[in-house]
Amino acid sequence: MYGRSRQPAPVALPPVAVKIVISGGFGVGKTTFVGAISEIEPLVTEAELTERSIGIDDTSAVSAKTTTTVALDFGRITLDDALLLYLFGTPGQDRFDFLWDDLVDGALGAVVLVDTRRIEDCFPAVDYFEERDIPFLVGVNMFDRSQRFDLEEIRDALGISPDVPVLECDARFRESVKAILVALTEEILTKRLSRERPVPTW
């Protein structure tokens, strides 16, 4: 008499890798955001601000800032055993716009960071993702001593649709950054499912 054959142990699948873009205006906290959450030493390409930046980079609201990202920030975070996020931070200055298409290529979603002292600085990022139909959410980075606004006021100022999430965050703290990334992955999944759902025929 033979016993039941043993079933092979399930093979653990590698996590799905997802590319996420972190964008926004100059000095809004993109490098800090990536560095706060990355489980590897983040790759940061920064250069010192020099006199050549005068009249180009507005540092009035970030007077303590002495460096600027000139290409990209890169980090990685495993949200769970099934999902691995690769984070690409964009440069915030207009003169580096030519890098955007390459940095964003293949991204499934984006975080647009906002500084309420200079909310207009994120308009180009919002326009970019809207025009390309890339899911994104707005993270309102809560700088010390910055004025607080109702999130719906910020939505109205940005002119974005009601289905785009607008959330407060603090780019210095890991858990705050993680909450933003979790919300974005949920937004990406919701959008993809809605696109794949068949349209009923009556």
Does residue 7 sit within a domain?
A: no
Does residue 28 sit within a domain?
A: yes
Residue 117 has pLDDT above 70, yes or no: yes
Does residue 143 sit within a domain?
A: yes
CB distance 143 to 168 below 8 Å = no
Percentage of residues of the chain with pLDDT beyond 90: 57
Structural domain including 100 reads: 16-196
Does residue 1 sit within a domain?
A: no
User: What's the pLDDT score for residue 186?
Assistant: 95
Of 26-35, 44-53, 116-125, the range with the lowest mean pLDDT is 44-53
Residue bearing tokens 């873009």: 21
Does residue 6 sit within a domain?
A: no
Residue 13 has pLDDT above 90, yes or no: no
Using alpha carbons, select from 111, 81, 100, 124 the residue that is nearest to residue 186: 111
- Alpha-carbon distance 113 to 167, whole Å? 10
Of 49-53, 134-138, 176-180, the range with the lowest mean pLDDT is 49-53
CB distance 27 to 171 below 8 Å = no
Residue 198 vs residue 172, higher pLDDT: 172
User: What's the pLDDT score for residue 50?
Assistant: 44
Burial of 100 (0-12, 13-18, 19+ CB in 10 A): middle
Does residue 202 sit within a domain?
A: no
Residue 173 vs residue 192, higher pLDDT: 173
- Alpha-carbon distance 61 to 180, whole Å? 24
Distances in Å between the Cα of 91 and the Cα atoms of 63, 75, 128, 191, 196 are: 18, 15, 14, 27, 33
Residue 180 has pLDDT above 50, yes or no: yes
| pLDDT single digits (tens) 48-102 | 544 444 444 454 555 454 455 445 789 999 988 889 999 999 986 666 677 889 9
User: What's the pLDDT score for residue 106?
Assistant: 96
Residue 160 has pLDDT above 70, yes or no: yes
Residue 153 has pLDDT above 60, yes or no: yes
| Domains: count for the chain | 1
**Helical residues (DSSP H) of the chain, grouped into ranges:** 30-37, 100-104, 123-131, 151-158, 174-196
Residue 152 has pLDDT above 60, yes or no: yes
Does residue 201 sit within a domain?
A: no
Query: Mean pLDDT across the chain, nearest whole number?
Result: 83
User: What's the pLDDT score for residue 73?
Assistant: 87
CATH number for the domain that contains residue 60? 3.40.50.300
Residue 57 vs residue 191, higher pLDDT: 191
Residue 51 vs residue 161, higher pLDDT: 161
Does residue 132 sit within a domain?
A: yes
User: What's the pLDDT score for residue 193?
Assistant: 84
